[in-house]
Amino acid sequence: MLTKRQNMLEVIKGGNPDRFVKQYEALAFVMNTPYALQYPLMPEGPGAPAVKCAWGYTNAWPEGMPGAFPMHDPEHLVCPDITEWRKYVKAPDINYTAEDWKPCQEAVAAVDRNEYLVAAFVAPGVFEMCHYLCEIQTTMMNFYEEPEAMHELIDYITDWELKWAEQICTYMKPDVIFHHDDWGTQKSTFISVDMFREFYLESYKKIYGYYHDHGVQLVVHHNDSFSATLVPSMIEMGIDVWQGCMSVNDLPKLVKEYGKDITFMGGIDNGKVDRADWTQEMIAEATDQLCRDCGKLYFIPCETQGLNYTSFPEVYGAIDEEIEKMTKEMF
C-alpha cells in the first residue's frame, strides 16, 4: 500500500495510485511561521474579536461564518484612493532570521515526510490582497479607471510575495505551497479572462516560478469558484493542483482535457453538503458519481473549503467515509 504522500503524487503524475486521495489527508500543514506568529491572519475563530492583520486591514469573523472577512467601513479601509496607494499601503517587514524560523523548522522536522507532504500556507493571494486593501467593488472599477495604479500595486504585492517565498524556501523547505486566491463566484469569474491575464498572469508566473525553482514540489492553489475558463492560465502560471474547484466547472471534462497538466482537487461543494441538515445520502450524491466520472487520475475528491475542516465538523469525516466507499468500488 502506498503512503498518503506517494498515493497523492501518483494521482498527480498520472501513475498508479492504489486508492482515491481522501481530501487533504496527504498534506501536513505547518502553520507556525514567524510571520504567522508575529501577525494574526484572522480572528481565532467565529465570534472572536476582529484583528488587525500585517498589511493593515482588519479581519472580522462573525459567529456562524465559515471564514473571516476584511472590514471596509471608512474607519478600517486601508487604501481609499488607488492613485495614492503608496501613501496608504505598507508591506509588512519579513526579514526573519534563522532563529525566528526555529519553531517552524522543528514542526517541519516532526513530520513523517514518507507519509506526508509538508505544506506551507499562504493567504490572501494577490487578487484578494488588492480588494482586501481597496474594497472589492472599488478594485473592480479600478481595473478600468486606474489600470496603471493597479499594475503598480500588484507589482508591489508580487515583490513582497517573492520575498516571502524566499524566506519560506530558505528556512522552511516545504514540499507544497498551499496558496489561496479566490477568482470568482459559483457562476463566473470575477473578471474576464483577458483582464485576469493582463493583471495577474505575470505576477503569478513569477511567484509560482520562484517556488518551483527553489525546491517546492507542488503548488496547490485554492480558488473555490467557477474558474474553468482560467485553467489554461493556471497551467501557464505553474499551478499543479487546483483545490476548491466547484462542481459547476464540469470537472470530468476538465480532467479529460487538462489532467496531464493540472490536477483537480474538489468537486464536493460546501454549499451542498456542509450544512445543518446534512445527511450521508446528500454527501453520497455529491461524491459518488463525481468519482466515477472524474476517474482515478488527476482528480482528488475534496470539499471545496480552503483548509481541512468543515463548518459542521462531522461533515468532513462523512466525506472521507464516502470517498473510502468509492475506493472500494473503483480500485
Partner 1 sequence: MAGIQEVYDLVVKGKSKLIGAAVQEALDAGCDAAEILNKGMIGAMDEVGEKFKNGEIFVPEMLIAAKAMKKGVEVLKPHLASGDQGALGKVIIGTVAGDLHDIGKNLVAMMMESTGFEVIDLGVDVPKEKFVETYQANPDTKIICCSALLTTTMPSLKDTVALLNSSDFRSNIKVMVGGAPITQAFADEIGADAYTEDAASAAQKAKELAS
We find the least distance from the C-beta atom of residue 225 to partner 1, in angstroms, to be 10
Is the sign of the CA dihedral 36, 136, 199, 265 positive or negative? positive
Q: Which stretch binds partner 1 (CB under 8 A): 62-70, 80-88, 203-211, 288-296?
A: 62-70
Nearer to partner 1, 49 or 99 (CB): 49
> Does residue 297 touch partner 1 according to CB under 8 A?
no
Nearer to partner 1, 128 or 274 (CB): 274
Amino acid at 192: S
Within 8 A by CB and 6+ apart from 170, the residues are none
Nearer to partner 1, 303 or 322 (CB): 303
HSE-CB of 269 using CA atoms within 13 angstroms: 15
**1, 49, 114, 276: which one contacts partner 1 (CB under 8 A)?**
276
Question: Please, what is the Cα angle at 237 between 234 and 240, to 5 degrees?
Answer: 65
Contact yes or no for 158/206 (Cβ under 8 A) = yes
Residue 27 pairs in a beta bridge with 117
What is d(CA 262, CA 254) in angstroms, rounded to the nearest whole number? 9
> Does residue 313 touch partner 1 according to CB under 8 A?
no
Contact mark string toward partner 1, 10..49, x via CB under 8 A: ----------------------------------------
Nearer to partner 1, 65 or 330 (CB): 65
**2, 42, 48, 136: which one contacts partner 1 (CB under 8 A)?**
136
Contact yes or no for 95/5 (Cβ under 8 A) = no
Contact mark string toward partner 1, 225..264, x via CB under 8 A: ----------------------------------------
Contact yes or no for 172/126 (Cβ under 8 A) = no
> Does residue 60 touch partner 1 according to CB under 8 A?
yes
Q: Which long-range contacts (CB under 8 A, 24 or more apart) does 184-188 make?
A: 184/223, 184/225, 184/226, 184/227, 184/230, 185/225, 185/226, 186/225, 186/226, 186/246, 186/248, 186/269, 186/271, 187/226, 187/248, 188/226
Site size for partner 1 (CB under 8 A) = 29
**233, 270, 305, 327: which one contacts partner 1 (CB under 8 A)?**
270
We find the least distance from the C-beta atom of residue 273 to partner 1, in angstroms, to be 9
> Does residue 66 touch partner 1 according to CB under 8 A?
yes
Buried b or exposed e, range 267-281, using 16+ CB within 10 angstroms: bbbbebbbeeebeee
We find the least distance from the C-beta atom of residue 140 to partner 1, in angstroms, to be 4
**Cell numbers 475506493 correspond to what residue?**
327
We find the least distance from the C-beta atom of residue 258 to partner 1, in angstroms, to be 20
> Does residue 64 touch partner 1 according to CB under 8 A?
yes
- Where is 319: in which H helix or E strand? helix 314-330
**65, 109, 110, 330: which one contacts partner 1 (CB under 8 A)?**
65
We find the least distance from the C-beta atom of residue 176 to partner 1, in angstroms, to be 28
> Does residue 182 touch partner 1 according to CB under 8 A?
no
Q: Which stretch binds partner 1 (CB under 8 A): 26-34, 104-112, 143-151, 250-258?
A: 143-151
> Does residue 187 touch partner 1 according to CB under 8 A?
yes
What is d(CA 286, CA 180) in angstroms, rounded to the nearest whole number? 24
> Does residue 280 touch partner 1 according to CB under 8 A?
no
Residue 297 pairs in a beta bridge with none
What is d(CA 152, CA 95) in angstroms, rounded to the nearest whole number? 23
Residues near partner 1 (CB under 8 A) are 60, 62-66, 69, 136-137, 140-141, 143-145, 185-192, 195, 270-271, 274-276, 311
